[in-house]
Amino acid sequence: MPIIDDEIDTVRASRAGHTFHERWAARRALQLVFPSDSLFAIAVEGLSSTEIANPGSAAEEVADLVLYYGNGDNFSSCDRLETVQFKYKVREEEVTSSFLKKTIRKFCETLVGYEKEFSVDEIDRKVSFIFVTNAPFARGLTWRGTTWTTGLRH
C-alpha cells in the first residue's frame, strides 16, 4: 500500500491563498467599472486611506478587503461598509467555528471600536462582516447578523 504524505508545501499553499484573495478582489473591483450595485470604493488590506474613524488595530488586521457602498469611502460618508476576510484552505476540510474563532474575535473588537465614535443603530445599519472561502462551512455554522459567503473553487 502506498504511503500518503500529509505534509503541505507551505510556499505553494501561501501562493494559492494569495491568488484566491487577489482574484476575488479583482472580480469585485471590476464592479466599480461595470456597476451592478451601489459599490463606491474598495480598500485592500485595511481601511480606506480617507477613514477618519478609529475602530482599532483589529479592524485593520481583519480587513482583507473593505467595500464601501453609497457615496463615500469612509464610515461616516458611506451608506454601508462590508469587511471581508478571506479564508483559503489547502485541504478539503470544512470551515468550523474554531477555525474562525480569532477572526470572529477581531470582528467583535472592530464593532466595539466603532461604538466609541458612532451609535449602535448606525453601526447596525452600516456594518457587516463577510467570510470568503474556497471550502464549505460546517453544517449548522450560523451567526446571526453576519453574511457567510463561500468563494468560487478553482
Q: What are phi and psi of 121, to 5 degrees?
A: -60, -45
Residue 30 is predicted with a pLDDT of 82
Helix and strand totals (H; E) in the chain: 4, 5
C-alpha distances out from residue 146 to 5, 14, 83, 117, Å: 37, 27, 11, 21
Q: Are the beta carbons of 106 and 55 closer than 8 angstroms?
A: no
How much is the pTM? 0.79
Residue 152 is predicted with a pLDDT of 34
Beta bridge mates, 44 = 65
CA–CA–CA angle 22, 9, 130 (5° rounding): 35
Boundaries of every domain in the chain: 10-150
**What tens digit of pLDDT does each residue of 50-72 get?**
999 999 999 999 999 999 999 99
What class does CATH assign to 10-150?
alpha beta
Average pLDDT, the chain: 82
- 102-106's contacts with Cβ under 8 Å and 24+ in sequence apart are 103/62, 103/131, 104/143, 105/58, 106/58, 106/59, 106/61, 106/62
Of the two residues 77 and 31, the one the predictor is more confident about is 77
